Amino acid sequence: MSAWSRTELMAVVMARAFRDREVVVMGAVPALPLAACRLAKALHAPGLSYLVGGSGTVDPKPAALPSQSCDPELTGGPCTLPLHEVVLLEGRGDALDVFCAGGLQIDANGNCNLVCVGDHARPKLRGPGSVGLPFLSAVKRVVIYTMAHNPRTFVERVDFVSGAGDRAELVVTPLATMDFDGSHRMRLASVHPGVTAQEVVEATGFELAMPPSVPETPEPSREELETLRALDPEGLLRR
């Protein structure tokens, strides 16, 4: 078995964060959180449920990881809810446990921005828009993930709050994992193998809270990696 990719490690880290019986919701480009959910369900969280927001599909088991949220492969799942009803459940507050989210910008308090870089009235960059991110405040906990760990993405304060960071618990990037300190400021939690704390600090556009010592993210176990690769026969997470 070849060495794991950074994206595979991210999937493993996210999977470890999901608990049995939780209901996890994800949005656009669901391959990574979907892989993480299936991995968690296979290994330590058999009662986990996951909901692909765009299509409304619950617990889909596609033969390969989908590149998009409304992939017809997904909607063959055991149950597809109308997206309208997903919206109801997102607002209800006690139906969904974990929201997997990201952003053009992610700030020191975990706020996410999918709207714009620069002034809202005349943005330098217009993003796609907020979609369901206001519901971040309605779930129990939020896992933030992004492939872009750089100072443009990780900023002291987002230019626009699409969804608030008040429930954010974990941030997963190709370089590190982060959690939040007592004042809910993002804190380095572990660096991935081969990455130094200094590299993470330099890739982050604000001053990360630092723990007394920074552990290394545990590598994927053989079982984790084998299970994950069986879910990803096309190697989407290795590209």
Q: Applying CB under 8 A, which residues contact other proteins?
A: 21, 23, 28-29, 47, 49, 51, 54-59, 67-70, 72, 75-85, 87-95, 114-115, 120, 122-138, 160-164, 166
Question: Do 163 and 184 touch, CB atoms closer than 8 A?
Answer: no
In this complex, which beta carbon is closest to other proteins, that of residue 3 or of residue 125? Answer: 125
In this complex, which beta carbon is closest to other proteins, that of residue 77 or of residue 220? Answer: 77
Neighbours of 83 (CB within 10 A): 15
In this complex, which beta carbon is closest to other proteins, that of residue 17 or of residue 23? Answer: 23
**Minimum gap (Å) between residue 236 Cβ and other proteins:** 10
Neighbours of 126 (CB within 10 A): 13
**Minimum gap (Å) between residue 68 Cβ and other proteins:** 5
What is the longest distance spanned by two Cα atoms in the chain? 51
**Minimum gap (Å) between residue 44 Cβ and other proteins:** 14
Which two structure tokens, joined as six digits, stand for 198? Answer: 């200094």
**Minimum gap (Å) between residue 37 Cβ and other proteins:** 12
For 5-39, b where at least 16 C-beta lie within 10 A, e where not — what string?
ebbbbbbbbbbbbbeeebbbbbbeebbbbbbbbbb
In this complex, which beta carbon is closest to other proteins, that of residue 5 or of residue 75? Answer: 75
Distance between CA atoms of residues 34 and 7, nearest Å = 13
In this complex, which beta carbon is closest to other proteins, that of residue 125 or of residue 210? Answer: 125
**Minimum gap (Å) between residue 217 Cβ and other proteins:** 26
**Minimum gap (Å) between residue 169 Cβ and other proteins:** 16
Q: Provide the phi-psi class of 118: left if phi over 0, else alpha when psi is between -120 and 50, else beta.
A: left
In this complex, which beta carbon is closest to other proteins, that of residue 3 or of residue 88? Answer: 88
For 43-68, b where at least 16 C-beta lie within 10 A, e where not — what string?
bebeebbbbbbbbbbbbbebeebbee
